[in-house]
Amino acid sequence: MDKPWVTSKYKNLIRKRQIAFKEGNLSEFRSLRNKVNRMSKSLRKSFYQKNVAKLLNSDSRSWWKHTKRFLNLGCKDNHSLVGMSNLLCNGDNTSLSNKINQFFTSLISEFNPLPPPDPLLDIDETPSHLIIELETVRIKLNQIKCNKAPGPDDLPPWVFKEGAEILSGPLCAIANSSVRNGWVPQEWKQANIVPIPKVLPPKLVESDLRPIALTPIMAKVIESLVGEMIWYQVKDKINLNKFGCCKGVSTVDALIEFLNVCFLATDAGEEKTSNLGLKVTKIHLTSPTSNTPDSTNTHFIS
């Protein structure tokens, strides 16, 4: 398979070089060889410069996809579980599947499923803050990523996204009914568990496999809607110093707050910070309106 930067002109030059070599025309061969080498370097340079320039404005998923392709870091073993089957079960895939199922099941064996409310809640009038709006459901359906894998219902994401205008009404009614009755359909709780290798090649079921749950697309949408409803109710009660699992904050905010506490304690001359030596180098802060990192600073606390 040709490299992505190879052109027809480059192939013709290589062909001429090989013909000159077979005919014993060494002077012509050396000349063509040098031309092939120069063109090879030029084509590779222009190809990678052009493609790397495109990464500046691409999303994170496309960035990693193209970067791994450039660096040849893709998964080279597409049959890693087959190798594990040969290693642990003498090639018996059914035996390996049973062993993986038993291990994943053992991880949650001590947890009991929550029983459904009996009888189901029957609220005559749902509070306004618990009502899911039709437009909200439509927006959520349009935001679905089509590259995601479907769940046990085998309904691909593009069905919900392309049919958002038609499906938003029925799905909104189902979601509001679920919230009003305090009951989640059993079909939404089901998931396909896929073993993903942590390392390549995997050798042990207990340490080298990670379970990934593929739930129905509809369950993900409702979970997101209910999560937003809960967030609006509790966001004002969350400590401002909590940075995990909160929108709009990151590890950069946590680091800045940590530095602020250290600086204030140092300025106050507290004994707890008298022996603290901290060096923070190359903290890159990106402004919301620009992709260019701000100045790089080095701070010392002693």
Q: How far is Cα 285 from Cα 205, in angstroms, rounded to an integer?
A: 41
Q: Does the pLDDT value for residue 300 go beyond 70?
A: no
pLDDT given for residue 37 in this prediction: 92
* 246-270 per-position pLDDT tens digit: 777 777 888 888 888 888 887 776 5
pTM: 0.57
Identify the H or E element spanning 172.
helix 164-181
Q: Burial-class residue 218 by CB neighbours within 10 Å (0-12, 13-18, 19+).
A: buried
How high is the mean pLDDT of the chain?
A: 78
Contact 29, 13 (CB under 8 A): no
Q: Give kind and range of the element (H or E) at residue 175.
A: helix 164-181
**In which element (H, E) is residue 157 found?**
helix 157-162
Interval 62-84: pLDDT, tens: 788 777 776 666 555 445 777 77
3-state secondary structure of 52: helix
